[in-house]
Amino acid sequence: RDKIHPTEEAIDYISHKFSDQYFEPQVKTFIEKWHFIRQSMEHRPYHPNSEAHQHFLKDLVHKLEDLKEEVPVEEEIKTIQSQIHTNV
């Protein structure tokens, strides 16, 4: 609105144009995966002990483990594993 700060839409547009021009396809694929994982990690559940959320967390750990060869994700895995209950 103030014509000084770009909107979220403008940031997304510029990011896409930049990545299309300068990133290799495998880098773009990684960024998409990581973006999804980061969003998932920021998710705040209404019912953290529910079976559905526990399944969600286990699936998230598997996705992180798939990235272990590309980037260090041990801390993220530990964080998610600490939220998983063994009785569910």
Query: What mean pLDDT, rounded, does the chain reach?
Result: 91
Which pLDDT band holds residue 86 (cuts at 50, 70, 90)? confident
- Whether the per-residue pLDDT at 87 is higher than 70: the answer is no
* Rg value, the chain, Cα: 17
Buried-exposed string 52-83: b where 16+ CB fall within 10 A, e elsewhere: ebbebbeebbebbeebeeeeebeebbeebeee
pLDDT at 4: 85
Tell whether pTM > 0.85: no
